[in-house]
Amino acid sequence: MERRHILLLLAAVFGLSAAGAFLGVRLAGERAEPPRVWTLSRPAPALLQGPAVSAVAEPDERSPVIEAVRRVGPAVVNIDTTARRYRFSFGDFWGFFGEPQAEEVPSGQGSGVIIDGAKGLVLTNHHVIQGASRITVTLPDKQAFEAEVLGSDPPSDLALLKIDGRNLPQATLAAPDAPVIGSWVVAIGNPFGFKNTVTVGVVSATGRSLKSPGGTILQNMIQTDAAINPGNSGGPLCNLRGQVIGINTAIISEAQGIGFATPVSTVRWVVKEIEQYGKVRRPWPGFYVRDLTTRIAGRLGMPAAEGALIVRVEQPSPASRAGIEAGDVILEIDGQKILTADDVVGVFVQARVGQKMKLVLWREGKKVTVTMDLQESQERASRTGALPPAGCADRTAKRPRQDSNLWPTA
């Protein structure tokens, strides 16, 4: 019985072996399929150009500040000036001095802005080009031109230049309205030689009056906290629409975030005067004033020492024709209260030839109102670049202390 079981078991193993061999031969005769290989597809790495890269423009790239810079930036120029200096060289063996030899030396750098591309008109500050024998204007695209001075006006510290170029970019002047305090502004210039530097701030105040180191009183200035540094002088102060609202002019050297720009209302008038007359015509009143002291005010019976004392009236002059006399005290001019002699000078900086001016005077214990027709004297008309309002100050009076911390920005 056990032998029979063993035989059956052997037969089963043999049969299974035969079946396995048959299947192996069958499978070996068939063609094998290649294995499937999976690959992971990844995008090509992008070239990084900043902290973040995106194929779609971010909202910041279309911000008002960037748009303003794109509109004004191409018209902002660098201004380099040279001055002519003379030196004497030793002559022959006997030691006689020879002829004076002139040489051009760099005298300064500043900024400017093209306000009329067709005419090639460039606006900058007077102190940027003052005393220069050669002025070179360089555009952001590296074009360089030698500039001609069409006119320069010390009282407003503005100068108008002309360059000969084609297809020049230009900036747009804003309306003469005063900017809103707190509104955003952009300053563009070349501080310390860093060309086309952009800074952003707000309008801190308007209507500021400043006395420069040279004694000139700058009127109706825009104050801003946009960073302005030496070399920014003559560059534009713009609104977010890319319009020029002022020309950067001065800074407080000991402060931070206190800069000043000449307003576009003054710019428009100065440019118009220079284009038409080659200078800025300013009226000459024909009188001289000084500050009113407490002692003099008491002698005149005045309630307070407020006003400007007229110490001399020239004959003939607009003042003499209006009936103004020495000893009168100016209390108001065209509704503006006068406290000091500087207030009178400030009014005449903004005055126009041909304007009628109403003055309220203190005379013999009462107020008197007179009207004066403003004219330009023939003497001053013949001297381009003269400072007419300086004639309002008493030549014999002690000059007021000048602010030593207010400096031009070029």
- What is the set of active-site residues? 127, 157, 233
Q: Are 333 and 344 in contact (CB under 8 A)?
A: yes
Nearest residue to 340 via CA among 283, 286, 403, 297: 297
Cα separation, 284 vs 258, whole angstroms: 33
DSSP structure class, residue 283: -
- Residue 134: how many other CB atoms lie within 10 Å: 14
Residue type, 53: V
Helix (H) or strand (E) holding 126: helix 126-129
Helix (H, G, I), strand (E, B) or coil at 326: coil
Helix (H) or strand (E) holding 76: strand 76-90
Cα separation, 331 vs 338, whole angstroms: 5
Cα separation, 136 vs 164, whole angstroms: 12
Q: Are 265 and 219 in contact (CB under 8 A)?
A: no
Q: Which residue has the tokens 């906290």?
A: 225
Is it true that the peptide bond before 316 is cis, omega within 30 degrees of 0?
A: yes
